[in-house]
Structure 1
Amino acid sequence: MKKLLKNGCVLDPVSDDLIEIDILIEGTYIKKIDTHLPVNDPDAEVIDLSGKFVSPGLIDMHVHFREPGFEKKETIASGTRAAARGGFTTVACMPNTRPVTDSVEVVREILAKAEQAGCARVLPYGAITVRELGQELTDMAALKAAGVIGVTDDGVGIQSSKMMKEAMRKACQVGLPVVAHCEDDTLAKGGCVHDGTFASRYHLQGIPSEAESIHVGRDILLAEDIGVHYHVCHISAEQSVRLVREAKSRGQKVTAEVTPHHLLLCDEDIPEPNALWKMNPPLRSRKDREALIEGLKDGTIDIIATDHAPHTAAEKAMGMERAPFGIVGLETAFPLLYTHLVLKGVLTLAELIDKMTRKPAQIFGLPYGVLAEGLPADLTVIDLEEERAIDPDTFLSKGRNTPFAGWKVKGWPVLTIMNGNITWNQADTALTFGDFE
C-alpha cells in the first residue's frame, strides 16, 4: 500500500528551518522525499498534512510495560498504544517484570505480544542478573540472540562492584551495552523523595544525590577498564552529569539519558506529600535540574527517555512513603518538552527532535530515527499549534499517575506511522478511544 503525505513541514538538515515537503511511502519504506510530488497513482492514499510538522518516529529507550506479571498496571498492548499516541514508533522495555526478562522464553513472549499489538516497535532489555537479585549473571549471549538490545537490572542498582565488573566484561564480549540504574542502597534505602527542601519540610526520609553519583563514578571506572558501552539511566544529579562529562572528554564510550520530569521539575515544586510526585530517582534540587539542562544542551546527556512507569490508582493512593515509585510519560513527553524547552528558548526544535530520534538510534545502533529515502517509514506528525490541557482520564495507558495533570501544553502528535502503517490517528475515534483491554 502506498501513502503520499502532502504539504508537511520538515526540518531542513542545513538551516534547521521548517520547509514544506511531500513524502511517498511504499510498503514499509520511504520511497521518495521531494517537493510537489504528483498525485498520479490511483492506489496511493493521499494524506494532506498542511500546517503540520513531520518528524522521524520518536524513540524512547526506557519504558516499563509491566507484562508479564503486572498486567493491572499496564500491558504490552496498552503500553504500545500509549506510545503510538505519544508519537513513539520505537520503545525499549525494561526487564523488571515477573518473571524477570532474564531468559530467552520471556524475551520471545514480549516480542510476540508486541508483534501482535502492532502499535509500536518494542525492543526488550535483558536483565544483568538472574531475577535481578545481583547474585548470578544471566546468559547474555542467549539473550542477545533472542533479541535484547542491552542488559540492565533497572529498578535496582548492582550493589557489588565485583558483580558489575564481571557483567561488563561479559556484556562487552557479546557486544551488548550495559544500561545502569545507579543507586547505592546504603544511602538510598528507605527514602521516598530527594534529601532536600521538600523532605525537610515534611520530615520524610530523603535519598541523597550521592546515592546515584557514587554508582555512576564507580561504573565509569569499571567500564573504562573493560571498554564496554556504558549507559546511565535517568540521570538526575549534578555530580553525575559532571562525572559523565569528564568521561566523555577522555573519549570513553559513556552515554546518558534524562527524563522530561527531571528536566522540568525539582523537589521544591512538589506541592504536598502526594505520591503522583514520587519517582526514582526522585525530583532533585533546582541546582541539579539546571545541571541536567546544561548537560542536555552541551551533549553530555545524549538522549531523552520517559521512564514511563504506570501504577494503579490504589497503589499511588498509599501515600508518599508507601506508594511505589514512578510516573507515566509516553503520552505527554513531546508537548511538555516542546512547550517548556523549545518555546521558552532552552532548546531548538531541531535539538529536541535529535535527542528523541536520531541520537538514541545512533548510540544503540538502530536503523531508525531519520527521514530518508530507503529507510523504514517511521514518522510522527505533530500539530505544533494545538494547545490543550493534559487530561489523565483520556490516556490510553492504564496508568494515570502523572504530576502534570491540568498543565496546558502545545505540540500534540496527531498521526503516527510505523513501518508504513498508521498506528495513531487523532482524527480516528476508533483508534483513539477503542477498548484496549
Structure 2
Amino acid sequence: MSAPIVITNVSLYGDTPSDIVIVDGQISSLTAADVPADARTMDGSGLVALPGLVDLHTHLREPGREDAETIETGSRSAARGGFTAVHAMANTTPTADTAGVVELVASRGREVGLVDVYPVGAVTVGLNGTQLSEMGAMANSRAQVRVFSDDGKCVHDPLLMRRALEYVKTFDGVIAQHAQEPRLTEGSQMHEGLVSAELGLAGWPAVAEESIIARDVLLAEHVGSRVHICHLSTAGSVDIVRWAKARGIQVTAEAMPHHLLLTDESARGYDPRFKVNPPLRTQEDVDALRAGLEDGTIDIVATDHAPHPDEDKDCEWGAAAFGMIGLETALGIVQKTMVDTGRLTWRDVARILSETPASIGRDEAHGRPLAVGEPANITLVDPAAAWTVDPAGTDSRSNNSPFGGIELPGRAVATFLRGTPTYLDDRFTALTEGAPA
C-alpha cells in the first residue's frame, strides 16, 4: 500500500469542506484531527472530491490495434481524466468474444494498474450478428464479464437480440445496444437534415436509432431482462426511453459528451474529427439530451473514447473513420453543459459519472460513497480551472479530438485508485517525491 495521505479542506461532492484521510487504500477518516505521523498532506482548498469516475464505454483497441491505443496509454489517459475504472469495448482484433480474450484484457489492465479495466464481451461471434458468443463462459471467467455489446455494430436481428437478453438474464448481465438499423444507414455520413443536404453528404436519419431502441425496450420487457442503450443521440430516443421507464422496463441509457455540446453544424468544414457514430445531431437534439440527463431519463454520461491513428482521420470525410477521443475532456464538458448551466450539481455528477455506471456494470468496487471504510477511489476536481484543449497534449496514443482550441471549465487534478495516486497535476508534484504538497 502507498503511504498515508491527508487531503485537507476539500469539498465532498461540492458541499461543505472536509478532510479525507487515506490509509491502506481506504478512507480511514473524514477529519484530520488524528493522522498517521508519516502521512503526506495535500491542500484541497477550492477542490471538489468525487468518487472515482467510471466509464462504461471505452475503446482501448488492444489487442490488435495498438497503433491507435494500448491498454497502457488508454489507462493513462483515463486516469488523467479522473477515471478509476473503464469498460473496454469488444471490437478488438481478435474480438473479445471468448473467455481467453476477455481474461487477457483484464490481466493486462491489472498489469498496468492505473485504472480497473473491465472487459465488455461481444454479443455475437466476431461481431458478425449471426451467432451468439459464449457469454456464459465470459461471465464465469476470471474477468467476470457482465456487460455485453457489439458496439460499432447493431445486433439487428430481433430473434438474436431476444436470445441474448434471455442469456444474460441468467447471470444478471446487460446487453449494451448500438442502436443503428443498418438498412437505414447504408452509406450514411452525417445526420440527415438541412446541413447534410447543403453539404452533399448522405444523411443518417434519426429513425435508424429510434426504431431499434423502441424494438429493444419492448424485447427487454417481454423477456424481463436489462438493456442498456449506448450513445443515445436524438430527441426521439429520449422520448422512447422516458416512455419505457415510465412503463417499468429495465432500460438504462447513456449520452456522450460530444452529443451534449456539438451539433451537425460542426461538419460544415468537412473536418473528419467531427465524424462520429452516431452522428452529431441538431441543436434540438442537444437540448433534449441535456433535459433527459437532468430529469434522469438518461442515466449516465460515457465517453465512447474512440482513438484512431492519424492516417484514419487525416483524409477526406468519406474515407475517414468514425469516432473521437474523449477521456480527458468528458468531465470539463459535463461541467460546461450541465453544472455551470445549473442543470446538475456535483452530487449529480458523481451519480452520472461514477455511481450509476458502476451499478449498471455491476462494478462493486467503484461508485462507492466517499465515506469511512470505503475504498479510496477518488477524483479531485478543480472547478475553477479554465483550460484550452490541445489534442497533441493528450496521454492517449491518438489525437483525434474535435475539441482542439475549445476552452473548457474544470478538470481532474488528482486521481486515486485504492489510495494510490494514478494522476497528479503539477501542483501536487511534491507528493510523488514524498514531501508535503
TM-score (norm 2): 0.94
Identify the match of residue 96 of structure 1 among 78, 91, 98. Answer: 91
Residues 1:183 and 2:185 aligned together: no
Letter matched to residue 29 of structure 2: K
1:295 corresponds to which residue? 292
Residues 1:108 and 2:107 aligned together: no
Pair 106,280 (structure 1): closer, same or farther in 2 beyond 3 Å = same
* Distance in 1 separating the partners of 2:283 and 2:413: 33
Letter matched to residue 85 of structure 2: T
1:228 corresponds to which residue? 225
Q: Which moved more, 1:421-430 or 1:132-141?
A: 421-430
Pair 228,430 (structure 1): closer, same or farther in 2 beyond 3 Å = farther
Aligned partner of residue 97 in structure 1, secondary structure:
coil
Identify the match of residue 197 of structure 2 among 196, 200, 214. Answer: 200
Aligned partner of residue 16 in structure 2, secondary structure:
strand
8 A contact 2:267–2:275 mirrored in 1: no
Letter matched to residue 200 of structure 1: A
Pair 82,221 (structure 1): closer, same or farther in 2 beyond 3 Å = same
* Distance in 1 separating the partners of 2:90 and 2:158: 21
Aligned partner of residue 7 in structure 2, secondary structure:
strand
8 A contact 1:231–1:256 mirrored in 2: yes
8 A contact 2:272–2:314 mirrored in 1: yes
- 1:429 CA displacement: 7.0
Residues 1:354 and 2:351 aligned together: yes
8 A contact 1:76–1:113 mirrored in 2: yes
RMSD between superposed Cα atoms in Å: 1.7
1:252 corresponds to which residue? 249
Letter matched to residue 406 of structure 1: G
Where do 1:298-309 residues align within 5 Å?
298-309=295-306
Aligned residues: 425
Residues 161-187 of structure 1 deviation map (CA, whole Å, 9 limit, x = unaligned) = 111111111111232111111110000
Aligned partner of residue 61 in structure 1, secondary structure:
strand
Residues 1:212 and 2:214 aligned together: no
* Distance in 2 separating the partners of 1:429 and 1:403: 30
- 1:430 CA displacement: 11
Residues 206-265 of structure 1 deviation map (CA, whole Å, 9 limit, x = unaligned) = 110111111101111111111111100000111111111111001111000000100111
8 A contact 2:331–2:410 mirrored in 1: yes
Aligned partner of residue 198 in structure 1, secondary structure:
helix
2:160 corresponds to which residue? 163
Pair 216,297 (structure 1): closer, same or farther in 2 beyond 3 Å = same
8 A contact 2:146–2:362 mirrored in 1: no
Identify the match of residue 334 of structure 2 among 333, 337, 353. Answer: 337
8 A contact 1:63–1:309 mirrored in 2: yes
2:435 corresponds to which residue? none
Letter matched to residue 119 of structure 1: L
Q: Which moved more, 1:127-136 or 1:364-373?
A: 364-373
* Distance in 2 separating the partners of 1:204 and 1:159: 24
Letter matched to residue 31 of structure 1: S
* Distance in 1 separating the partners of 2:74 and 2:295: 32
- 1:188 CA displacement: 0.8
1:14 corresponds to which residue? none
Runs of 4+ in 1 over 6 A off after TM superposition: 428-432
Identify the match of residue 34 of structure 2 among 5, 15, 38. Answer: 38
8 A contact 2:56–2:87 mirrored in 1: yes
Residues 1:320 and 2:292 aligned together: no
* Distance in 1 separating the partners of 2:430 and 2:373: 31
8 A contact 1:22–1:37 mirrored in 2: no
Letter matched to residue 32 of structure 1: S
Q: Which moved more, 1:275-284 or 1:192-201?
A: 192-201
1:5 corresponds to which residue? 7
* Distance in 1 separating the partners of 2:328 and 2:261: 16
8 A contact 2:375–2:419 mirrored in 1: yes
Pair 330,152 (structure 1): closer, same or farther in 2 beyond 3 Å = same
Pair 216,314 (structure 1): closer, same or farther in 2 beyond 3 Å = same
8 A contact 1:327–1:402 mirrored in 2: yes
Identify the match of residue 171 of structure 2 among 167, 171, 174. Answer: 174
Letter matched to residue 410 of structure 1: P
Where do 1:56-135 residues align within 5 Å?
56-135=51-130
- 1:135 CA displacement: 1.2
- 1:45 CA displacement: 2.1
Identify the match of residue 43 of structure 2 among 44, 48, 58. Answer: 48
Identify the match of residue 25 of structure 1 among 15, 22, 27. Answer: 22
* Distance in 2 separating the partners of 1:209 and 1:407: 27
Structure 2: gaps of 5 or more residues: 433-437
Pair 340,431 (structure 1): closer, same or farther in 2 beyond 3 Å = farther
Pair 262,430 (structure 1): closer, same or farther in 2 beyond 3 Å = farther
Residues 1:138 and 2:137 aligned together: no
- 1:375 CA displacement: 1.6
Q: Which moved more, 1:121-130 or 1:355-364?
A: 355-364
